Each structure stands twice: as C-alpha cells, then as structure tokens.
Homo-oligomer: A and B are copies of this chain.
Amino acid sequence: MRDFTDDLKPASPHGTTILTNERSQSDVPEDELAEHLLSRNDFLGRQKRILRVLEKDPLFEKVKQFNLSRPERYQLGLARAKKIRRYEDQYRWDDEDRSMAQYLCDDVTPYMVHYAMFVTTIREQGSEEQRAYWMPKVESMEVIGCYAQTELGHGSNVRGLECQARWDPKTKEFALHSPTLTASKWWNGTMGRTANHAIVMAQLLLPKNEGSDEYTNKGVHPFIVQIRDMKTHQPMPGIAVGDIGPKYGYAPMDNGYMLFDNHRIPYSAMLSRYSMVDQNNGTYFQPENPAVVYGSLTYVRAQIIMHARLIIARAVTIAVRYTSVRRQFSDRDSKDPKAPELAVLDYPTVQIRILPLLATAFALHYCGESMHRLYETTRAEIDKGDFRRLAVLHAQSSGLKSLCTELAANSIETCRRAMGGHGFGGPSGFIQLNNDYLSKPTVEGDNWMITQQTASYLIKRMQAAAAGKGQPQDDIEKHCRQYLSEKSNYRPDQLRIFDNDEDLVESFRRRSRDMTYRAHVERNERKRSWNSMQIQLRKVSHSESQSILVSNFYDAVNGSSVSSTLKTHLRTLFRLFAFYTMDNEARDFSKANAVSEEDLDALPSKIQELMAQIRPHAVKLVDSWKIPDFLLDSALGRYDGKVYEDLFNRAHRLNPLNEITFNPNYKSEELIMGGGDDIKKILAKL
C-alpha cells in the first residue's frame, strides 16, 4: 500500500554516493586481493555459482525469519536442508558445493552432523564390511545419522562418559545402558528430531572372565545404532530421544538428548576397524595406532581458523560500510558552526575497535593457509609412517584454535558496539552471526582448557632444551636452545620494531620463549602444581599463538608475488596487527627484554598512524573479501550503502507485527483488537 513515506529520501550525503567515493579514492586492487585471499578450492567461483541458485529461491529469503517461533525455525531449517540436498542431486554438487550452500544459507542444517561426523566416523572407524553395508544407505540418506558422544554430565572429559555398552556373551549382543540421568547423551546435533541412526560412544564393558558378573572397562568405543523406526520415525523401544530445546544460536538444529534402557544392539554394531571384540571368546583387540586420528584434527583446526577469518571479515565488512555511511557530530575543534558531520569511521575511538580486526582477518587467513600446507606435508609423512611432526602440529593447533575463535567471537560484539544504536537492531545482520558463533569458544575443545596442551608441549621442549642432550627434537626445541644460550645478552633496544619488520617478528618470538621459560622454571624447578599454573599456561599458549600469527603474516606478505601496491597495503595491515597485539600485552614484552620502553610508549600513536593510513582504503579492503549481500543479510552492511532505505523497508513493509492491531487498554483482557479471549492461546503455550 502506497503512503507518503514512499517519496521520502534519506538526508544527504546518500550512502551510495559515500561508498562510491570511498571506493574511487582507494588504489586497493580489489580483484587481485580477492583472488589472493579466496582462490583455495575455487572459493570465489563456487560462491558465485551456488549463490545464483539460492538467491532466486524464496525458501532462502532471510529477512523475516527472525519473527518465527523455534518449532518453525526447525521446520524451515529442515525444508532448506532438503532443498539443498535436492539441488545437490539436480546440479551434481560435490561436498564442497554443499558446504558452500550451507554457508551462504547461513542457517545450520539439521542434516549437518549426518554429512560430517556420522559419515566420517563410519568411513574412518568402520571395518571394510561395515563400510560396505552402511555407506550406500548413508549416501542415499535412507539412513540419516548423528554422532552421540557428549553427555549431560561430561563434555571435555571423554573418559568420564557414563553410557555403557555391556557385552553379553550369551546372546552375542551389547546392552546399551544409561545408568544415571547424567549419562544422557546431550547436545548431539541432528539427533533431536531428524536422525534415525546414531554413532553412540559408550564405555565398552567386557566380562572379567567367562560367566563372570564382573566387568572390565575397555574405554569409550563407537557403536552404530538405529534410534528411530524407519517408517513411523518414532523412537525405538528402550530409547528416549528428543530435542534439548532453545539455545543461544542454531535455532534450526535439533541438538538432542538420548538415554538407553538396556537397549540391545547386535555384535555388528561396534565399529571395528581399529578395535574389536572376538565374537566367540570375548577377547578384546587394541587400537592399532591412535596417533592416526590427530592428523585430521589439524585439518579440522585449519578449517576452524579459515572459518574464523570469514566471521571476522563479515563483521568488519558490515561495520566498515555502516560507519562510513553513518555521520554523527562535526569536529569539536572546528571553528565553522556549519561544519558537516563526520563519518563515524573517522573517529579514532571507532577505528580502534574495527580496523585492528580488519587486520586480524588477514592474520588468521595466512595462519590458516600455513596450517593447510603443513597438514598436506604432514599427511604425506604420516602415510609413510613418520609421526614425528604430529605432536608439535597438534600442540600448536590447540593454542591457535583457542586464540583464533576467541578473537573471532569477540570481534562480532566489538564491531556491533562500534555501530551504536542500529547495531542492536535485527537488520544489523549481527544477531544470528553472534548467537551461532558464540558456541565456538567451547566446542571442539574448550578455549581455556586446550591452551594447557600447547603450554605443556612448549614447557617440555624448554625442559629438553635446558637438558640440552643430543639433537633438538623439533624447531621449537631448537629455538628454545637458542633462547637459552642468548637470553643473558638480550637488551630491549636491540630490536628496532618500527624500522624492521623482521625485528618485530623476532620480538614476538622472544616474548613467547620468555613466557615459556618462566613457566618451565615454575613447573620443573620450583615444582608448582599444574592446576595452580593454569592461568599462566594460557598466557604461554596465547603468546606462542600470537607469535605464530605474526610470523606467518610476515612470511606471507614478503613471500607473495602480489603487486607492489597490494603489498604496501598488506604490510600496513601486518604492522597494525602486530603493534596492536603488542600494545595489549606490552608489559610481557617489556619483561622479556623484547622491546624498549620507549618503543612501547610510542605504540599507541604508531597504531593511530597506521589506522589513518588504512582508513581511506577500509571500504575496498572489506569489499575484497567478497562477502555477498545475500550472506550478510544486513541493512547496515549493504554493498550499495542504502542503509536507511533498507532499515525502513524492513520495519515498515516486512514486519509481521505491524499487520496486527492490538488493544492496549489494560482493563481489557483482549490482546488483539477483536481477538476475544486470545490470551488463552498464549497461556496454552507457556
């Protein structure tokens, strides 16, 4: 319906004009940079191709979905998952294409765990026979599966899982059982409403000897279990399974709970590639080589970092575009009473929140790339039976997972607050992004907990270096030896961080070694308890991860064959990331004799200089990440800068609440005008 608001325009300057000007003033070679960042696996080509399909399908329209109820959100998620799968058949999409569709759709799909953990576990842990039986059913999605590991009472501590699989030699079956309420499987995606099968991780209990009532616990093993009837989709007898209810994010995902009441499963249910029970005499065979598993962990963590960088890039894209368009206040020092209002991004207090994060997206990118390369190399070594580099890779990737997902999770809220009032609104495009991503600091290894793995490895290497016997086991130990032999000569003014980027990299390395060394002294010389050192250990891990990020960034900028224009911009971003990180931890660097006090004092103004250099290029730098409007779903972050038109359109034309006229009179129980006793409908849902 037309009304007088149709003819109104926003006050000038118009957002489109502003962004056009921002783009024309910058020499950032956008397409070159996009290729540089996003050519792995033909990301850009794939994005374009899949986007064309989803964009024109009304099922994938996002604007109004935040008005839906939770049960509707699951239904929508299921509808989209089915549609993507049908597109997969229709267009012969491969796994990467499907992942791209899910990424662009931006709604976690209820099929997710089927595609990921369920398939992978059968493939990796099933025997040849088991794979032959299950894979066709799994691939056709006759069997839809989930992965049931964590429980109500145990997440991080896998050994503490309570669910039992007890071998019954008489019937040649396992009895799956949940002895307590806390043994309930919990959080497992795809399980709540969608899956008809599950991989269940359970403590394998074997009779101590034939006919015995006592059992030996062989630890946690995987079992494949049918959990719902293939026709009615109702839970199988002896199984209680359902969705756990609303969460921060993942509205369309049916994270589930599941309990077993001495539920019998056949001998063939135990996935038996690496470990098995002899069907005849109940003898247990050990896993071959558990180290094999770690290899793919590095791949998964490289993926987590590559995902984290896209999260930051997305938050920063919205924030940079909006704060370029948004104007508020004129310069306080201006003598001109009619001075125009400044773009919000011109204020240093806004820059300091957004621009270092822009640099961080690049830092994570180069680190993820480097991990992918390391994974490729290591994989070849592992295939040849050489596991030596696995430990260091695993240790480094733990710390990096922790730091990078932390940076990404915090980046969203930091950018949101930098956008002021409109940042709080749905059309910011931040709500779902934030709600979904906030799971990451916890899943795949709690961010605080797993830093212990990194620190533990580093301290061991420092201890070995201090002992100094034989050849160093790896590069870290080599550096530790170097540190130990040189540290008495370290003087803070040796490194010229403002003049020489290599010195900047070296400064981060010194500081990390120093942190490790102090922890080594505490643990190995002063014999402090591990738990009492946990806070310090996290700092040890983060300082190493920061050093890795800085050195990978440096290597990538210097080693790459990009144009000199682009290289200049990348170097500015590198320095901003390094100085900003250093400024936040200045005292550590000082203690490590890694930077002079004068240079530390100068950091804030150096950072401000670098931000001023980046400011005119900020819009093109975020453009280069090529995040489509379809994914952003943000009135504030639109490529064309039509911020206010979009905000108004969503409010005035796309808001279902405005289709209802309410009765505000408190003396009346009626809620909707003419609605009668509509209050009963609401009460029934409480």
Q: Which residues of B sit under 8 angstroms from A297, Cβ to Cβ?
A: none
Please report the C-alpha to C-alpha distance between residue A36 and residue B160 in the assembled complex, in whole angstroms: 43
Please report the C-alpha to C-alpha distance between residue A660 and residue B431 in the assembled complex, in whole angstroms: 27
B531 touches A242 (CB 8 A): no
Given the contacts A329-B156, A529-B333, A58 and B193 also touching, CB distance less than 8 Å: no
Question: Of A66-74, A204-212, A547-555, which stretch is located at the interface?
Answer: A66-74
Q: Which residues of B sit under 8 angstroms from A78, Cβ to Cβ?
A: 662, 664, 671
Please report the C-alpha to C-alpha distance between residue A686 and residue B75 in the assembled complex, in whole angstroms: 13
Nearest residue, chain B, Cβ from A675: B75
**Which of B66, B247, B447, B660 lies in contact with A417, CB distance below 8 A?**
B447
A5 touches B417 (CB 8 A): no
* Chain A to chain B contacts (Cβ below 8 Å), 22 pairs: A4-B238, A4-B261, A8-B183, A9-B180, A63-B686, A64-B685, A67-B71, A67-B685, A76-B686, A82-B667, A141-B666, A144-B664, A157-B328, A157-B329, A184-B648, A192-B658, A193-B660, A194-B664, A242-B652, A348-B532, A348-B534, A421-B442
Q: Which residues of B sit under 8 angstroms from A608, Cβ to Cβ?
A: 532, 535
Nearest residue, chain B, Cβ from A341: B160
Q: Which residues of B sit under 8 angstroms from A64, Cβ to Cβ?
A: 685-686
Q: Which residues of B sit under 8 angstroms from A443, Cβ to Cβ?
A: 421
Q: Which residues of B sit under 8 angstroms from A532, Cβ to Cβ?
A: 348, 608
Q: Which residues of B sit under 8 angstroms from A144, Cβ to Cβ?
A: 664
Q: What's the interface size class on A, roughly? A: 35 or more
A644 touches B69 (CB 8 A): no
Q: Which residues of B sit under 8 angstroms from A417, Cβ to Cβ?
A: 441-442, 447-448
**Which of B65, B183, B666 lies in contact with A82, CB distance below 8 A?**
B666
Interface assignment of A473: CB less than 8 Å from any CB of chain B: no
Question: Of A146-154, A302-310, A494-502, which stretch is located at the interface?
Answer: A146-154
- The interface centre, meaning the residue of A234, A529, A679 with most chain B CB atoms within 10 A of its CB, is A679
Given the contacts A5-B240, A442-B420, A245 and B664 also touching, CB distance less than 8 Å: no
Nearest residue, chain B, Cβ from A257: B651
Interface assignment of A438: CB less than 8 Å from any CB of chain B: yes
B413 touches A448 (CB 8 A): no
A531 touches B347 (CB 8 A): yes
Q: Which residues of B sit under 8 angstroms from A446, Cβ to Cβ?
A: 420
Nearest residue, chain B, Cβ from A660: B71
Given the contacts A152-B647, A664-B233, A246 and B4 also touching, CB distance less than 8 Å: no
A68 touches B69 (CB 8 A): yes
B76 touches A70 (CB 8 A): no
B245 touches A75 (CB 8 A): no
Nearest residue, chain B, Cβ from A78: B671
Please report the C-alpha to C-alpha distance between residue A229 and residue B489 in the assembled complex, in whole angstroms: 82
Q: Which residues of B sit under 8 angstroms from A333, Cβ to Cβ?
A: 529-531
Please report the C-alpha to C-alpha distance between residue A417 and residue B442 in the assembled complex, in whole angstroms: 7
B413 touches A245 (CB 8 A): no
Given the contacts A75-B682, A662-B78, A431 and B246 also touching, CB distance less than 8 Å: yes
Question: Of A16-24, A271-279, A422-430, A479-487, which stretch is located at the interface?
Answer: A422-430
Within 8 A of B (CB), among A75-117: 75-76, 78-79, 81-82, 85-86, 110-111
Q: Which residues of B sit under 8 angstroms from A194, Cβ to Cβ?
A: 662, 664
Interface assignment of A640: CB less than 8 Å from any CB of chain B: no
Give per-residue flags for A390-420: 1 if the beta carbon is below 8 A from chain B beta carbons, else 0. Answer: 0000000000000000000000010011101
Q: How far is the CB of A77 from chain B (nearest CB, A)?
A: 10
**Which of B329, B645, B685 lies in contact with A72, CB distance below 8 A?**
B685
Please report the C-alpha to C-alpha distance between residue A85 and residue B667 in the assembled complex, in whole angstroms: 9
**Which of B184, B349, B672 lies in contact with A538, CB distance below 8 A?**
B349
Nearest residue, chain B, Cβ from A427: B245
Q: How far is the CB of A185 from chain B (nearest CB, A)?
A: 11
Please report the C-alpha to C-alpha distance between residue A248 and residue B425 in the assembled complex, in whole angstroms: 6
Interface assignment of A352: CB less than 8 Å from any CB of chain B: yes
B651 touches A242 (CB 8 A): yes
Q: Which residues of B sit under 8 angstroms from A184, Cβ to Cβ?
A: 5, 8, 648
Q: A187-B421, A349-B448 are in contact. List 4 more A-B contacts (CB 8 A).
A: A4-B261, A71-B657, A332-B530, A413-B413
Interface assignment of A543: CB less than 8 Å from any CB of chain B: no
Q: Which residues of B sit under 8 angstroms from A152, Cβ to Cβ?
A: 10, 644, 647-648
Within 8 A of B (CB), among A312-338: 327-329, 331-333
Q: Which residues of B sit under 8 angstroms from A150, Cβ to Cβ?
A: 421
Please report the C-alpha to C-alpha distance between residue A457 and residue B426 in the assembled complex, in whole angstroms: 36
Q: Which residues of B sit under 8 angstroms from A183, Cβ to Cβ?
A: 8, 11
Q: Which residues of B sit under 8 angstroms from A85, Cβ to Cβ?
A: 666
Among all A-B residue pairs, the 5 with the closest Cβ atoms: A69-B69, A246-B426, A242-B658, A8-B181, A66-B246
A11 touches B182 (CB 8 A): yes
Interface assignment of A676: CB less than 8 Å from any CB of chain B: no
Interface assignment of A661: CB less than 8 Å from any CB of chain B: yes
Q: How far is the CB of A78 from chain B (nearest CB, A)?
A: 6
Q: How far is the CB of A71 from chain B (nearest CB, A)?
A: 5
**Which of B8, B604, B678 lies in contact with A535, CB distance below 8 A?**
B604
Q: Which residues of B sit under 8 angstroms from A248, Cβ to Cβ?
A: 424-426, 430-431
Interface assignment of A42: CB less than 8 Å from any CB of chain B: no
Nearest residue, chain B, Cβ from A530: B332
